[in-house]
Amino acid sequence: MANLKKDPFHVLISCILSLRTQDSTTSGASERLFRLADTPERLCKLPVARIQKAIYPVGFYRVKAERIKEIACQIVKKYKGHVPDNIEELLRLKGVGRKTANLVVARGYNKPAICVDTHVHRITNRWGYVKTRTPEQTEFVLREKLPVKYWKDINGLLVAFGQGICRPISPICSKCLIYRYCDRVGVKKWR
């Protein structure tokens, strides 16, 4: 699934909606919003209040509605309606960070990119595979160490693994298939 190409604009907007919001809430909000406006041109024309209503109850929906409209308008004006396909240009969009930019490149354009969220950062450090302090540092170390063929898949794999087995507090090491290879850096208590 991680290798399937999706509409870059939809990936971008859905990722912004997903920040600090549960997946089920994000999914519903994305569907409602894209029924109203599924292109940057259409979204740019929507009033912010209408966007807010469509995306509610995502976290920080008022701020996100303004940001989403601004991004859509930037894409229309600066990029002629096409979402940039590289991280550096995506980072020029207000409110787009490295995680979002990498996700758009990987999922929207099916290009190698490493989306590092809290799970990827925590787990790769826990394993002892990297030794970094921030997700951004983790991304750059992984770009050096991890074979390119795994870049697009690592996030999806480690998010599920981090939610189910390798939890932030008291991981379930007794059910972990890679337990014997893990350095368990920072793990004080496990099950």
Mind giving me the DSSP string for 95-125? T--HHHHHHIIIIIH--------HHHHHHHH
How large is the average pLDDT for residues 31-54? 97
For 145-187, write each residue's pLDDT tens digit. 999 999 999 999 999 999 999 999 999 999 999 999 999 999 9
For 52-92, write each residue's pLDDT tens digit. 999 999 999 999 999 999 999 999 999 999 999 999 999 99
pLDDT averaged over every residue in the chain: 94
DSSP-assigned letter for residue 180: G
CA atoms within a 13 Å half-sphere pointing along the CA-CB vector of 33: 36
For the chain, give every domain's residue range. 8-109, 118-181
Q: Is there a cis peptide before residue 57, judged by omega within 30 degrees of 0?
A: yes
Residue 1 confidence (pLDDT) = 33
How large is the average pLDDT for residues 115-138? 97
Residue 5 confidence (pLDDT) = 59
Reply yes or no on whether the pLDDT at 133 is more than 50: yes
C-alpha distances in Å from residue 41, one per residue of 2, 51, 56, 75, 151? 27, 14, 21, 8, 31
CA atoms within a 13 Å half-sphere pointing along the CA-CB vector of 82: 8
Residues in the chain: 191
Residue 112 confidence (pLDDT) = 96
pTM of the model: 0.89
CATH 1.10.340.30 for the 8-109 domain, yes or no: yes
